[in-house]
Structure 1
Amino acid sequence: MSEDQHAAAMRFIFEAGVLKHAARTGWWFAGVKHPETIAEHSHRTALIGMILAAMEGADPARVTMLCVLHDTQETRTTDLPHIAKRYLAAAPNTTITADQIADCPPAVTDTITAAVTEYEAGETLDAIVARDADKLECLVQAVEYRHQGIDNVQRWIDSSRAALRTDSAHRLAEAALTGQPLAWLTPPARPE
C-alpha cells in the first residue's frame, strides 16, 4: 500500500468531517432554525439500523455500516431538500462515492463501494433495514421537533412512515408517535 493511498483514505476521513457541520436543510421549511447536521442524522440512523437489524434478523454490523455511509455523498452535493430534487439532477450516489474514494487502498475502495451500491439498490434485507432506519430517524426527529414546538412537521412524519417496509420499523414508528421523547428521564420503578 502506498503513502498516496493512505493520504487518499485520510482525505475521505477529513471530507466526512464536513458532515458534522452541514445542516439537514429540509427542516428549514418546517421552521427549524438550527436543524440537526447530516452527521447527527447518520449517527442515530446507524443506531436505529443496528436495533432494526436485530429485530428483523438482518446483520447488525452490515446495516450499521450501510447507515454510516448512506449520506456521505452530501459533502459534495449538500443535503438537497426534496423540492430541490425536482429541479436539480445530482450525480448518482455511487458515482460520488467512487470519486470520493478513488485513490484509497483497494480494500477500502471495495468495502465502501460494495456498501454504497447495496444501500442504493435497496434489495437485500440489510439494505431494506438500513433504508428503513433512515426514514425512521427522520420520523423520530420530526416527533422531537414537534415536541419542541415546531408544528409544521406532519409531512415529514407522513412521508417517512409511508416509506417504511419492515414490520419492526412500523412498530417503532408507532411507538415514536405515541411516546414522549423525554420519557427516558423517568425510568420505570424497579420492584423491591
Structure 2
Amino acid sequence: MTDDHDAAGAMSFIFEAGVLKRAARTGWWFAGVKHPESIAEHSFRTALIGMMLAAMEGADPARVSMLCVVHDTQETRITDIPHIAKRYLTAVPNTAVTADQVAACPRAVAEVITAAVAEYEAGETLEAVVARDADKLECLVQAVEYRHQGIDNVQRWIDSSRAALKTTSAHRLADAALSGQPLAWLTPPPLSE
C-alpha cells in the first residue's frame, strides 16, 4: 500500500467516527429525553471517568481512556440499539464491526484499534473492567443529570448501571453522584490566600 492509500484509509475511519457526534443515544428517548446526548459525548465523558477510575484502581489511565474512546465506535454502522431491542436482534460481534471499519487503515492503526476493542469486549484485564465500569458510571451520571433537569423516568438506568459496576472506586463514585448536585461546581469554595 502507498502512504497516500494508508492516509486515505485512516481518514475514512476518522470521518466515520465523526458520525458519532451526530448520533443520539437512543435509550434516553424511552425516558422522555427529547434531545439526548450523542454517542461521542457519552464516549468523551466515559474516557474521562475511565482515566479517573484507572488512577483510583491502579490501572493504566491511558489504556483505559483508549478503550473508552473506542468502545462504541461500532455504532456508526449498527446504531445505538436500545437494550429492549437486543432481545429481538442478532448482530455480529463488535470486534467484527471494528475489523470492517479499520480494514483500509494502515496496519499499525488497525491493530491498535482492533486490539483495544477486543480487550474491551473480552472484559478480562483490569483496564477493560475499569473501562466497562466507566461506561456504566457515565450512564448513571447522565441519568442523574437528566433527573435534575426534570426527567423523572430514569431510575431503571440508574439501577441497571449501578448493578453492573465491579470496582470499589466505581461504587464510591456512583454513591457520590447519587448524593451530589450536578451543578454544585458552580459555587466553588473561596480561594485560599
Per the normalisation by structure 2, the TM-score is: 0.98
Is residue 121 of structure 2 the alignment partner of residue 120 of structure 1? yes
Letter in structure 1 aligned against 2:162? R
Q: Which residue of 1 aligns with 2:104?
A: 103
Identity over aligned residues, as a percent?
Answer: 82
Q: In the aligned structure 2, how far is the partner of 1:48 from the partner of 1:61?
A: 12
Is residue 180 of structure 2 the alignment partner of residue 179 of structure 1? yes
Offset from partner CA, 1:92-128 (integer Å, 9 cap, x none): 1000000000121111011011100000000000000
Letter in structure 2 aligned against 1:11? S
Letter in structure 2 aligned against 1:39? A
Unaligned runs of 5+ in 1: none
Offset from partner CA, 1:142-187 (integer Å, 9 cap, x none): 0000000000000000000000000000000000000000000001
Q: Which residue of 2 aligns with 1:156?
A: 157
Aligned length: 192
Equivalent runs, 1:1-192 vs 2, <5 Å = 2=2, 3-192=4-193
Displacement after TM superposition at 1:90 (Å): 1.6
Q: In the aligned structure 1, how far is the partner of 2:48 from the partner of 2:164?
A: 19
Displacement after TM superposition at 1:9 (Å): 0.6
Query: Any runs of at least 4 consecutive aligned residues in structure 1 with deviations exceeding 4 A, and if so which?
Result: none
SS of aligned partner of 2:54: helix
Q: In the aligned structure 2, how far is the partner of 1:190 from the partner of 1:96?
A: 50
Displacement after TM superposition at 1:190 (Å): 3.9
SS of aligned partner of 1:6: helix
Displacement after TM superposition at 1:188 (Å): 1.7
Unaligned runs of 5+ in 2: none
Per the normalisation by structure 1, the TM-score is: 0.98
Q: In the aligned structure 1, how far is the partner of 2:70 from the partner of 2:81?
A: 17
Q: In the aligned structure 2, how far is the partner of 1:80 from the partner of 1:6?
A: 31
Offset from partner CA, 1:57-92 (integer Å, 9 cap, x none): 000000000000000000000000000100111211
CA RMSD of aligned residues (A): 0.8
Displacement after TM superposition at 1:191 (Å): 4.4
Letter in structure 2 aligned against 1:17? G
Displacement after TM superposition at 1:5 (Å): 1.7
Letter in structure 1 aligned against 2:19? V
